[in-house]
Amino acid sequence: MSENTERIECLIIGSGPAGYTAAIYASRADLKPVMYTGLQMGGQLTTTTEVDNFPGYPNGTDGTMMMEDLKKQAERFGTDVRFGMITKVELSDKVGGIHKVIVDDSKEIEAESVIISTGATAKYLGLENEQRLIGGGVSACATCDGFFYKGQDVVVVGGGDTAAEEATYLAKLCKKVTMLVRRDEMRASKAMQHRVMSTENLEVLFNSELDDVLGENVVEGVRVVNNVSGEKHDIPVMGVFIAIGHKPNTDLFKGVIDMDDTGYIITEGKSTKTNIPGVFAAGDVQDKEYRQAVTAAGTGCMAALDAERYLGSLN
């Protein structure tokens, strides 16, 4: 090994609930894990101001504070948490093989096991005020944030199954839900379309797109444009839910690790094992169904246990 190469037992890539939970379990198992956080330390949850549905916080907590709590707990047991980005990987396909990664295009790490917890990124439209008000009324997760809009009017952007599910979920909590569908029909399954259309307090605006999000510090309304007539009108709402999909952060592993057609890592059965021996995947990077902090944490635990058993089998 060169002076710029480091050999470790367990490398964790990513620092959301999955990564930190994996770190807690791996460090308690004396695997001496090293975590590289990525550019967004703490992951998606750091963009959420209030977390009310994670067990153990009876009064709720702030997303950034929660991630800091998890980080401190991981470090308490000996996890080496480092700010840095994995820029290249060379994974061995042999049992007991050494996996090589490059950090920030310079440092080389050789790892006996790797836990991938790089998460997924919610897709947004890219509007200036939409980005500015994320956490101030703009959200990409109804099950995470819908509770805060009880009795309020909200907008859901999207026309697929995810948007339909988010809209019908919100309709149970909110006074009125308006769906903005950019085409003249929904892409959602017929069953989901029927559910949407049969929900009394849910209105669908076809050929409609989000033109702007209104409000200074919090969302106060949206400007909607009809993409056929070009006409614009404002709708007063308290919340805007963007439901146009997620992109798993797996580009680094394409062509090496088995993925589905949308880029989510495929794991074996009820385990976190990938098709590469000694490489495990946890959290939203392999979960497109639930995408919750608590389920991500659960798979982080599983990944660390899988890694511990894998390394133990080599001795």
Catalytic residues: 141, 144-145
* Spatial separation of the C-alpha atoms in residues 91 and 275, rounded to whole Å: 11
CB atoms within 10 A of CB 4: 8
113 contacts 92 by C-beta, under 8 angstroms: no
CA distances from 61 to 54, 161, 219, 241, 259 (A): 9, 30, 21, 21, 34
Q: How far is C-alpha 269 from the chain's CA centre?
A: 21
* Spatial separation of the C-alpha atoms in residues 145 and 243, rounded to whole Å: 13
Token pair 């710029």: residue: 4
162 contacts 242 by C-beta, under 8 angstroms: no
